[in-house]
Amino acid sequence: DGGITQSPKYLFRKEGQNVTLSCEQNLNHDAMYWYRQDPGQGLRLIYYSQIVNDFQKGDIAEGYSVSREKKESFPLTVTSAQKNPTAFYLCASSITDLNTEAFFGQGTRLTVV
Amino acid sequence: AQSVAQPEDQVNVAEGNPLTVKCTYSVSGNPYLFWYVQYPNRGLQFLLKYITGDNLVKGSYGFEAEFNKSQTSFHLKKPSALVSDSALYFCAVRDSSNTGKLIFGQGTTLQVKP
C-alpha cells in the first residue's frame, strides 16, 4: 500500500514544549514538503527538501526545524519558539520534475493547551 | 514572484447545475498548474493538472479545467454538480525556479445544495 503517512493524527502540546510530527513515504520520491494550514490562509510552506541530507526554509520557517536523514522520512519539530503553533500540518512528497503532482498525507492537527 | 489567486472564498451551486471555481496565476515561464480538493480534516487529493497542450484538461470525479493563457486563468469546472462535491478546492502552481515547490491559492469552499 504505497503512500505518505503522517502521525499522529491529533497532537496536544503544552506551552513551552517541543513536539515532533512524523512524515513517512514509500513512493521513492526525492522531494518532501511541510505545509501549515490555517483557516482562510491557504497552505504556507514551512520547509522543503529535494534530496537526502539537504533542506531549505520555506516562507514561515521560524520556530520550526526538520531533518532529512533518510529518503523516506522528513520529521518536523515544532519548537517552543513558535508563537502560534496551533494549526493543521500537511506533509507532501513528489518527484522533482515540475510537471508532476505532489502527494499529501492525511495531516496532523496540533493544538496547544 | 509567482502567485495564484482564487477570488472567491465560497461558491454555492444547486445539485445538477454546472459549477466553476476560478483561479488566476502569475508565473515567469511556462505554467505548471494543479487543482486539489480537501475534505474536512483530511489531506489534499490531486484532481488534475495542466502541463502543456490541450487547453481543456480532464481529471478525476468528472472535473475538468480550462487553461486560458491570455487571461492567465485555470478555472475548474464540472457540468453537473453533486452534493458530495462539497469541499475546499485549491489551485496551485509549481515554482519554476529550482525549488519546485507548490504555491497555493487561498482556497475556495464549494457548497452544493440538494
Give the number of beta-carbon pairs within 8 Å between A and B: 58
Residue pair B25/B67 in contact (Cβ under 8 Å)? The answer is no
B 12-51 → A contacts, CB under 8 A: 32, 34, 36, 41-46, 49, 51
Tell me how close the Cα of B16 comes to any Cα of chain A, in angstroms.
28
Q: What is the pLDDT of residues B63-113, one digit of tens each?
A: 999 999 999 999 999 999 999 999 999 999 998 776 778 999 999 999 999
Whether residues B100 and A50 touch (CB distance < 8 A) is answered with yes
Tell me how close the Cα of A6 comes to any Cα of chain B, in angstroms.
10
Higher pLDDT, B101 or A37: A37
Per-residue confidence (pLDDT) for residue A31, from 0 to 100: 94
Question: In this model, does residue B61 exceed pLDDT 80?
Answer: yes
B94 at interface of A, judged by CB pairs closer than 8 A: yes
DSSP state of A73: B
Q: What is the pLDDT of residues B4-31, one digit of tens each?
A: 999 999 999 999 999 999 999 998 888 8
% residues pLDDT > 70 (chain A): 98
Among A42, A103, A105, beta carbon nearest to B107: A42
State the average pLDDT for chain A.
93
Whether residues A101 and B46 touch (CB distance < 8 A) is answered with yes
Whether residues A90 and B44 touch (CB distance < 8 A) is answered with yes
SS3 call for A40 = coil
SS3 call for B85 = helix
Whether residues A106 and B36 touch (CB distance < 8 A) is answered with no
Round to whole Å and give the CA distance between A3 and A72: 11
| pLDDT band for position A45 (cuts 50, 70, 90) | very high
Sole residue written with cell 496551533: A86
Question: In this model, does residue B35 exceed pLDDT 70?
Answer: yes
% residues pLDDT > 90 (chain A): 81
Round to whole Å and give the CA distance between B15 and A74: 41
Tell me the average pLDDT across A50-60.
94
Tell me how close the Cα of B67 comes to any Cα of chain A, in angstroms.
15
Question: In this model, does residue A40 exceed pLDDT 80?
Answer: no
Backbone φ and ψ for B60, nearest 5 degrees, come out as -75, 155
Question: In this model, does residue A24 exceed pLDDT 70?
Answer: yes
Among B36, B46, B101, beta carbon nearest to A45: B101
Q: Which of B34, B44, B52, B57 to mutate to test the interface with A (most CBs of A within 10 A)?
A: B44
Q: What is the pLDDT of residues A56-102, one digit of tens each?
A: 999 999 999 999 999 999 999 999 889 899 999 999 999 988 888 99
| pLDDT band for position A39 (cuts 50, 70, 90) | confident
Whether residues A56 and B32 touch (CB distance < 8 A) is answered with no
Per-residue confidence (pLDDT) for residue B98, from 0 to 100: 64
Question: In this model, does residue A1 exceed pLDDT 70?
Answer: no
Per-residue confidence (pLDDT) for residue A22, from 0 to 100: 98
CB atoms within 10 A of CB B84: 10
